[in-house]
């Protein structure tokens, strides 16, 4: 069984959906988990309470990771609470979907700044303490959209593709100090964002997915927990697709 006892983690965008599932899964395996949320304080409090019910600590920190000082404050809060950061999961993300012809410059920039720049800011903030500890696990949540592209998501696909490059560069830079960096690429997952999709689109997605269904947040969280564990100590610079076979590379 994956054992994260004594570990401390930071998860960005941890109050809902995939982020919440990751926070809960890491806590179930024994980690204390600080997580950021952007605006939904009620959801953050609910997630923190769920973690605390498992006997773990869960500081909920309001932070907009698209701002470098906010990302630094998030990591500092975790260091103040736990004394160390063993695991970083870059999950925070937004969408501003539109066709390229209609997409505003602001919509393109906003998605890149949260989904890609935010991950960079958080990695930069944890690098020094992880280097001192000569260990660490960084897991970035990318997407099938970053691997195969998605119509109407030039901004999101670009950010998620960039995240794959950032993952590999980080893995190369930090490997000599025992720090790994990997990515998880979810396919279509049932969350608050996707449950309202028209039935026609849901049917089309399941037809395109070899396993014939949507994924669950818990299935993504399982992959993250593995990559954050000692069992994955010899894995770095990899992209693990958790997509029901949608993208086979």
pLDDT at 193: 63
- pLDDT, mean of residues 214-241: 97
Global pTM reads 0.95
- Look at residue 222 and tell me whether its pLDDT is greater than 80: yes
- Look at residue 205 and tell me whether its pLDDT is greater than 90: no
At a CB cut-off of 8 Å and minimum separation 6, what does 144 contact?
150, 185, 186, 187, 188, 241, 243, 246, 247
CA dihedral 63, 225, 147, 105 (to 10 degrees): 0
Q: What is the pLDDT of residues 167-202, one digit of tens each?
A: 999 999 999 999 999 999 999 998 876 666 778 878
pLDDT at 203: 86
Q: Tell me, yes or no, if 156 is annotated catalytic.
A: yes
Give the Cα separation of 58 and 44 in Å (integer). 10
Across all residues in the chain, what is the average pLDDT? Answer: 95
- pLDDT, mean of residues 112-140: 97
pLDDT at 60: 96
pLDDT band at 204 (very low <50, low <70, confident <90, very high): confident
At a CB cut-off of 8 Å and minimum separation 6, what does 172 contact?
237
CB 31 within 8 A of CB 11: no
Residue 197 tokens read as 């999709």
Percentage of the chain beyond pLDDT 70 is 98
**Among 37, 121, 156, 234, the one annotated catalytic:** 156
Q: What is the pLDDT of residues 54-97, one digit of tens each?
A: 999 999 999 999 999 999 999 999 999 999 999 999 999 999 99
Give the Cα separation of 102 and 96 in Å (integer). 11
If residue 143 lies in a helix (H) or strand (E), which one and from where to where? none
């Amino acid at each position: 069984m994956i054992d994260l006892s004594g570990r401390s983690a930071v998860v960005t965008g941890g109050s809902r959906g995939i982020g919440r599932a990751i926070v809960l899964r890491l806590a179930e395996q024994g980690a204390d988990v600080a997580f950021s949320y952007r605006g939904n304080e009620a959801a953050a409090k609910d997630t923190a309470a769920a973690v605390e019910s498992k006997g773990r600590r869960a500081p909920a920190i309001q932070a907009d990771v698209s701002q470098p000082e906010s990302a630094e404050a998030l990591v500092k809060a975790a260091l103040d609470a736990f004394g160390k950061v063993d695991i970083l999961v870059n999950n925070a993300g937004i969408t501003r979907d539109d066709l390229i012809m209609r997409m505003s410059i602001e919509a393109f920039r906003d998605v890149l700044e949260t989904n890609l720049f935010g991950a960079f800011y958080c990695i930069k903030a944890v690098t020094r303490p992880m280097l001192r500890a000569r260990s660490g696990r960084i897991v970035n949540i990318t997407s099938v959209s970053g691997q195969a592209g998605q119509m109407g998501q030039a901004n999101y696909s670009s950010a998620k593709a960039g995240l794959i490059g950032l993952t590999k560069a980080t893995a190369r830079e930090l490997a000599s100090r025992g720090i790994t960096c990997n990515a998880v690429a979810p396919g279509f997952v049932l969350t608050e964002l996707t449950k309202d999709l028209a039935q026609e689109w849901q049917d089309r997605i399941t037809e395109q997915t070899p396993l014939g269904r949507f994924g669950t947040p818990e299935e993504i969280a399982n992959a993250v927990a593995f990559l954050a564990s000692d069992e994955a100590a010899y894995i770095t610079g990899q992209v693990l697709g958790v997509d029901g076979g949608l993208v086979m590379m």
